[in-house]
Chains A and B, each alone.
Chain A
Amino acid sequence: MSAMGLLGIVMLFELSAFALLAFRSEGFDPLALLFALILIAVLFLQYVCMLWISKYADRFILVIANLLAAIGMIVQYRLSPDTAFKQLILYGAGLLAMFVCVAIMHKPALFQKLNWVMILGSLGLLCVLMAVGKEHGGAKNWITIARVSFQPSEFVKLALVFVSANYLTTRRSWRGYWPSAVFAIACCGLLVAERDLGAALLIALTYLILFYIATGNVRTTLIGMGAGCMGAAASYVTFDYVRARVAIWKNPWATYETSGYQIAQGLMAIASGGAWGLGLTLGSPKAIPAYNTDYIFAVICEEFGIIFGIAVIALYLVFIIRGALLALNARDRYLMLIAFGCTSLITLQSFIIIGGVIKLIPLTGITMPFVSYGGSSLIASMMLLGILEGVAMRNGEMLEDAMDAAMEECRKEERAHAG
Chain B
Amino acid sequence: MPQAVYAFVVSLMRYFFIAIIVYILVRIVYHSLREYGELRRVKHWLSDGYAKYIEFLPPYADEEGGFVLVRSNLIGRSPRCDIFIDDHSLKRRHALLYERKGEEYIRPRRKASLWINGERPPKRTASLTDGDLVRLGNVTFLFKLRRAPLEAYDEQG
Contacts and interface: CB of A to CB of B under 8 A. Distances in A.
Interface of A: 2-3, 6, 9-10, 12-13, 16-17, 20, 23-24, 60, 63-64, 67, 276-282, 303-305, 307-308, 311-312, 314-315, 318, 321-322, 325, 329, 331-332, 398-400, 402-407, 409-411, 413-414
Contact of A60 (B22, B31, B45, B148): B31
A3 B36 CA distance: 15
B66 A308 contact: no
B115 interface: no
Given A9-B20, A399-B42, A407-B68, A282 B10 contact: yes
B142 to A, nearest CB: 10
A413 B6 contact: no
B61 interface: no
B121 to A, nearest CB: 25
The 9 closest A-B pairs by CB, nearest first: A409-B148, A279-B10, A410-B146, A406-B51, A406-B152, A331-B157, A403-B68, A311-B21, A402-B153
Contact of B149 (A9, A311, A409): A409
Contacts of A3: 31
A18 to B, nearest CB: 12
A278 to B, nearest CB: 8
A405 B24 contact: no
- Give the interface centre of B23, B27, B45 by most chain A CB atoms within 10 Å: B27
Interface residues of B, number: 47
Interface in B4-31: 6-7, 9-11, 13-18, 20-25, 27-29, 31
A280 B13 contact: yes
B98 interface: no
A72 to B, nearest CB: 14
Contacts of B46: 402-403, 406
A300 B7 CA distance: 18
- Give the interface centre of B13, B14, B153 by most chain A CB atoms within 10 Å: B14
A400 B66 CA distance: 13
Contacts of A64: 28
28 contacts: A12-B20, A24-B6, A60-B32, A64-B28, A67-B24, A277-B17, A279-B14, A304-B17, A307-B18, A307-B22, A308-B17, A311-B18, A314-B25, A315-B24, A318-B25, A318-B28, A318-B32, A329-B39, A331-B157, A403-B51, A404-B68, A405-B152, A406-B68, A406-B148, A409-B149, A409-B150, A410-B147, A414-B146
B143 interface: no
A281 B17 CA distance: 13
B53 interface: yes
B50 interface: yes
Contacts of B150: 409
Interface string B26-60: 01110110001001001101100111010100000
A293 to B, nearest CB: 22
A331 B11 CA distance: 50
B20 A413 contact: no
B152 A322 contact: no
A6 B65 CA distance: 36
Given A23-B6, A63-B28, A409 B14 contact: no
A9 B25 CA distance: 11
A398 B39 CA distance: 13
A329 B27 CA distance: 23
